[in-house]
Structure 1
């Protein structure tokens, strides 16, 4: 009979295994995010989202894909875009594509899932954002834009740093100074916002690995359509960032959940949560939020069905890929990356800065 100590030990061991697989890619993702912060002009996104036409929606969707902001950090950024003249459609697209993916979550998807899902996730995120932006544009053509509320990162969200999206006047800086500033942001402010949720995702993945049996999955998640509906029901109210959702989805896939259901969780979880939806309604209006949520649900469900058929057609088994990856010896790089990542996440709490 499994004792409490045995259960805790198994959870820690399973969580450590997930961390070993993902830590090098997480650090790589944050490094790239730091490069974006250092060398992408602060007004680059705003410049390309002006206007209220279809082109601004496509640009917003594309530009949001690599930007590493969580679903709460994107809110003040979106409010700022609307305040500077971006249309509701473009703002809606940015609100969806940005939290659903990012350079950090794309890297972790490759580490914990498989190359096919690594490509599918940002592609579906882009088209979901375009569809939502277009829907808001055409349903709100006769409406009057409400005045955008001033949204802080703490308003109805779990983010504690508004600096993840603040725009500063650019000054001429040396390459070294820009790089230092970008890395300080990525491994400081951004990591503080996302890191705790990533660790929570790692622990939840460990809990799923230990306590969720394949028998339970076959009973409750065996039906393709029911499993995707259950994932939607779980993901929509839950706060989980794109990076943190990945180990959870990987653990569920390893237990037998379909790739489509895993994708639904990866898309709907980061883009929606009860807290952020209240703030989005202040930015876009209630009518636009209904359209926003409806498009995410429909596109996630449709993408899940397409992905299930695609995996079946190609003969891919996502569980086999995850198992093969997890059997590889992490080595010194994985262990070192895991220790460094843990130190970076925990350090602010130990120093009393959080």
Structure 2
């Protein structure tokens, strides 16, 4: 028993040393964006409602969604505010989709997976947002896609008049929110390293096979809890032979189907459109994962 504990601590400690500073930097950057840039990012999208940008508006909205520091529960009230400001549903779809999948803090975390995976993650999340906007534009052109009735203006918790204190409080909230998931992810990764043979991961998720991408997309649904918490797992799986396409599929379906996100989306989409959303996420994650495996 003592020997097993030593092995597990070794795996835990090795990965903690490799990822810890990405986590710290991610929190610092994420809180800085939230405190100092959030209003400018959201103001830029709100201003789109007064312009006729056509398809280019979908592109801009997806970029702003990636840059937004909000989680889904924060994104929906602000999206309701954007809608009242005249922002189109297809632009909102692009913004909300990419905002669910990625944020500045998670971008920093993902850098620990290597430059290739980081670039692929950013591009795939942006693409997923773009395609969501296009689908809403093409298939819901004459009718509303979202129902934001009853949503009040979002309230900000970053209200301290002292900017430094405002930033410190945001970082502290960030630590309390992400630390348990981050540590849990490290524990799971250590368990995988110790008890799951490398050959299994290579056989299931390796190579360019569609089966591996489909499996990764599927397990992303129940396993994903927090972006930072899955980074240690992904890093270990990639070391053990998981293909980049499989990793991308996991990173798309995971945050998009988080149970808390689905609960929030059910309110603004309704049952029918929520089903369409889930079908879209699975189809796009599989397609992008397979495409990535063909390229890389």
Superposition TM-score tier, normalisation by shorter sequence: 0.7 to 0.9
State the partner residue of 2:6: 9
Choose 205-214 or 137-146, whichever is displaced more.
Answer: 137-146
Q: Output aligned runs, 1:1-354, within 5 Å.
A: 3=1, 5-40=2-37, 42=39, 44-49=41-46, 50-51=48-49, 53-82=54-83, 84-111=85-112, 113-145=113-145, 147-148=147-148, 166-167=155-156, 177-185=162-170, 187-222=171-206, 224-311=209-296
Cα 1:199–1:60 change in 2 (3 A) is farther
Deviation of 1:251 after TM superposition, in Å, equals 1.2
Separation in structure 1 between the aligned mates of residue 223 and residue 80 of structure 2, nearest angstrom? 22
Moved runs in structure 1, 4+ residues, more than 6 A? 168-171
Does the Cα contact within 8 Å between 1:105 and 1:246 map onto a contact in 2? no
Cα contact 1:140–1:288 (8 A) shared by 2 = no
Moved more, 252-261 or 285-294: 285-294
Once the two structures are superposed, residues 86-143 of structure 1 have per-residue CA deviations (whole angstroms, 9 ceiling, x without a partner) of: 43323322232123222222222222x2111111111111111010121122222232
What TM-score do you get using the length of structure 1 for normalisation? Answer: 0.71
1:29-69: CA deviation from partner (whole Å, max 9, x where unpaired): 22122222332262641442453953443222111213333
* Unaligned segments of structure 2, at least 5 residues: none
Q: Residues 236-258 of structure 1: CA distance to partner in whole angstroms, max 9, x if unpaired?
A: 24442322222211111122111
> Conserved in 2, the CA contact under 8 Å of 1:29 and 1:103?
yes
For residue 168 of structure 1, report the CA deviation from its aligned partner. 7.2
Structure 1 unaligned residues grouped into runs of 5+: 153-164, 312-354
Change (3 A) 1:71 1:191: farther
Q: Give the Cα–Cα distance (whole angstroms) in 2 for the partners of residues 166 and 16 of structure 1.
A: 39
Structure-2 change in CA distance of 1:84 and 1:14 (3 Å): farther
Once the two structures are TM-superposed, the CA of residue 291 in structure 1 deviates from its matched residue by: 3.7
How many residue pairs get matched? 290
Contact 1:74 1:95 in 2 (8 A): yes
Deviates more, 1:297-306 or 1:229-238: 297-306
**Could you list the per-position Cα deviations for residues 207-260 of structure 1 after superposition, in whole angstroms to 9, with x for gaps in the alignment?**
221122123224433562111111111112444232222221111112211111
Q: 1:220 to 1:44 in 2, by over 3 A?
A: closer
Do the aligned partners of residues 12 and 183 (structure 1) sit closer, same or farther apart at CA in structure 2, a change above 3 Å counting?
same
Between 1 and 2, higher relative CO (CA 8 Å, sep ≥ 6) is seen in 1
CA distance in 2, matches of 1:10, 1:43: 48
CA pair 31-168 structure 1, distance change in 2 beyond 3 A? closer
In 2, the alpha carbon distance for the partners of 1:21 and 1:303 equals: 28
Shift, 1:20, TM fit: 1.3
Q: TM-score under structure 2 normalisation?
A: 0.84
Q: Secondary structure at the match of 2:34?
A: helix
In 1: Cα distance, 2:99 partner to 2:146 partner: 23
How far off is 1:193 after superposition? 2.4
